[in-house]
Amino acid sequence: MTDTPKRTPLYDLHVELGGKMVDFAGWEMPVQYPLGIMGEHKQCREKAALFDVSHMGQVILKGENVGEKLEAICPQAYATLKEGKARYGFFTNDDGGIMDDLIVSNAGDHFFVVVNASMRHQDIPHMAANLDGVEVTEIFDRALVAVQGPAAEEVVGSLCPAVRELKFMETTVAEILGAECRISRLGYTGEDGYEISIPEDRAVEVSRAFLAHEDCEAAGLGARDSLRLEAGLCLYGNDIDTTTSPIEASLNWAIQKRRKEEGGFPGADRIQRELAEGAARKLVGIKPEGRAPARHGVEVQSLEGNTIGEITSGGFGPTVGGPVAMGYVAKGHGAPGEKVNLIIRGKAQPAEIVALPFVQQNYKR
């Protein structure tokens, strides 16, 4: 890709704050600020951190029975998603693989969808082609910021009291400094917090107002990655992709009972079969016993020396205070407590299968 990376409405603010800018999925984004990845990570776990996630795709779906139509391309129960509620989900393909993961919100007169930056180019045409009679509009004139952490309610609530009333996975429209924002109580860090869609010409002002709160600091993609990993959340392209089914990816919880039973989505055959019989492999948490991080691609072996899987996400968990990883292991393996070896630079390093998440999720239910 030789295209010049795109910039979000907050680009100048990132540079002003000393953000170290890198190319991510065609966007020039801050990987960290002077506070550093560990400091930003801990800031989010202990107080509040502001992330620019404007590179993600924001989409408006308008039409009759949008939720019902979404059920034809997603295994989630979107037909019964109540107004003001948001729900995590994914697009599946005919083989039962995951095309992308997303958040769908019922905004009353429309549905609001957020998809991954790297998959916008696929997801928008996919929805347009498959949602008959639905107007699919990608939003280009709004920023998206996430304020995450135990102090997020204070940071956002001090400017917009209405957000205090929201519960986890609820969404509303409210004014912040007079700018009309869509505010959803969710995120991808394992902490309480909000994702806020802001008109682009007001995004810097609103972000500065959040950052002016003594408990809020800017955080970059580096901390976002270590936070979601500790929270046991999948990263599309690393842990899940078109070759992994939701059951393999341990995303059973994200498919509602009615859809599991009735099917009627792409790849339902495989997904229902795996629900009944178990999948050939399973995404699990893996905790290296030493200090060496095990990164994407590291081989997982049984103690007998047989290859049983591969690490898909791994690194250092600042809150855990040591290395953490997720990966796939073959059927018959993967019970918490099972000892395995990770082959790091040719050497077997001891590790243990653990239940996810590594750090307790802290949502306001």
Between helices 37-46 and 221-230, what is the axis angle to 10°?
A: 60
**Consecutive H or E run containing 221:** helix 221-230
**Does residue 189 touch another protein according to CB under 8 A?**
no
- Report the nearest approach of another protein to the CB of residue 313 (Å): 14
Give the one residue of 2, 345, 346, 365 binding another protein; rule: CB under 8 A: 345
- Report the nearest approach of another protein to the CB of residue 286 (Å): 16
Tokens of 359: 């750090």
Judge whether 12 and 115 are in contact, CB under 8 Å: no
Residue with tokens 């986890």: 168
Give the one residue of 10, 13, 17, 37 binding another protein; rule: CB under 8 A: 37
Contacting range for another protein; rule: CB under 8 A; set: 1-9, 270-278, 285-293, 325-333: 285-293
Judge whether 204 and 288 are in contact, CB under 8 Å: no
Binding track over 13-32 against another protein, x by CB under 8 A: ------------------xx
DSSP 27-80: EEEEEE-TT-HHHHHHHHHHSEEEEE-TTSEEEEEESTTHHHHHTTT-SS--TT
Tokens of 40: 């930003």
Nearer to another protein by Cβ, of 155 and 294: the residue is 294
**Does residue 266 touch another protein according to CB under 8 A?**
no
Give the one residue of 54, 118, 172, 226 binding another protein; rule: CB under 8 A: 226
Of the candidates 227, 100, 307, the residue with the CA atom closest to the CA atom of residue 297: 307
In the sheet where 193-199 sits, what is the strand order? 171-176, 179-184, 193-199, 142-148, 48-52, 216-218
Nearer to another protein by Cβ, of 27 and 194: the residue is 27
Contacting range for another protein; rule: CB under 8 A; set: 148-156, 243-251, 270-278, 287-295: 287-295
Nearer to another protein by Cβ, of 96 and 220: the residue is 220
Nearer to another protein by Cβ, of 82 and 347: the residue is 347
- Report the nearest approach of another protein to the CB of residue 289 (Å): 13
**Consecutive H or E run containing 11:** helix 11-16
Say whether 84 sits in a helix, a strand or coil: coil
**Does residue 298 touch another protein according to CB under 8 A?**
no
**Does residue 38 touch another protein according to CB under 8 A?**
yes
Nearer to another protein by Cβ, of 14 and 142: the residue is 14
- Report the nearest approach of another protein to the CB of residue 163 (Å): 31
- Report the nearest approach of another protein to the CB of residue 218 (Å): 16
**Does residue 346 touch another protein according to CB under 8 A?**
no
Q: How many residues bind another protein (CB under 8 A)?
A: 16
Residue 200 and residue 340: Cα distance in Å, rounded?
Answer: 49
Which residues contribute to the site for another protein (CB under 8 A)? 31-32, 36-38, 222, 226, 291-293, 295, 315-316, 318, 323, 345
